[in-house]
Structure 1
């Protein structure tokens, strides 16, 4: 799931002709939404059918409008883009979802992929590339900003090497405490230390200690690797 957005067709028409791509724009910053809408309105094959300012509203609008593509920020109030992505998969399964965000956090990227996002783009991407990305995703492709894709591939490669080394040495899987498992599952879902502290009714410092301990036990080096470990070991609830 990586690669640059393809260039649009010379005539600007949707691939194969047909109806324009119906897009739902979701971002908690109204000025950014307006700017994005002005850029996309210049594209003859793309039409903005609605907008939302947070994840909860995005789910309601997606169910109502059933857009072709949802263009959504990751970090928003009330309900994050990650949580909304999971819910939109239920209420509008035909919709393709592209995360458009400032976040270069690897945990956000992995959580978006896990939640079923079809694309992950950074907000510094030029407007014409956003339009081309919408066309590509609508056409069945999956896209990640190249800088983020390199992080993802590097993390997978590192985790694979360490997993192979552990298997070769026949080292038993380390035992985590019940609390460490809780923290690991929440880390894998892209929760911040503050979010985890609030959900488990413990301090942020305690969360940091749990994260440090579980990384040491699992011989991992980042939250991203911890998230991938949780998925690989099937530690997450469906």
Structure 2
């Protein structure tokens, strides 16, 4: 299966690291919204696992991988506990969290696209599900927190676009029969690099033609 690009043990470690970091971002938003411990845990779980669950349900891979192994469900809870007690310290290393979040984005868009292809989807659908795997949890997090999803806001650095680029590279590699651990890693690094450059230089997607308002939200 093309979705199993790496050694199974390495794949699990990478997945858990990505899940933990995504969960931290969900927990931090819960703290900013003044939610209680249950709210912190819910946003941590939703952010970390939401994208993968959506993908698995849509492709018919049920029960979703997030529920087939309890370690994937418990990891976000561990992140929620860290945020509950240490949120000032976690917030202070925000750049490190964003860097690791970008790495998780790159990894998940690659594995999500490959898994969708394994279940018989075409290139376009696989790319879409790769992006959903990487960014869907953040959308669920923002909706639950009653915020406009970050990836839809013009005043935020590119997030979905890097995932789309990484997913498109993977789809192209699959079509050419060249997807393996090395090329998959390069695709993940491409998504990671674009996200980090977007953060560094504040790259944003263009708004509607001749739309010039400077307000962050309307």
Q: Per the shorter chain, which TM-score range?
A: under 0.3
Structure richer in helix, relative to its length: 2
Greater RCO, 1 or 2 (C-alpha within 8 Å, sep 6+): 2
Who wins on radius of gyration, i.e. which is larger?
Answer: 1
TM-score by length of 1: 0.24
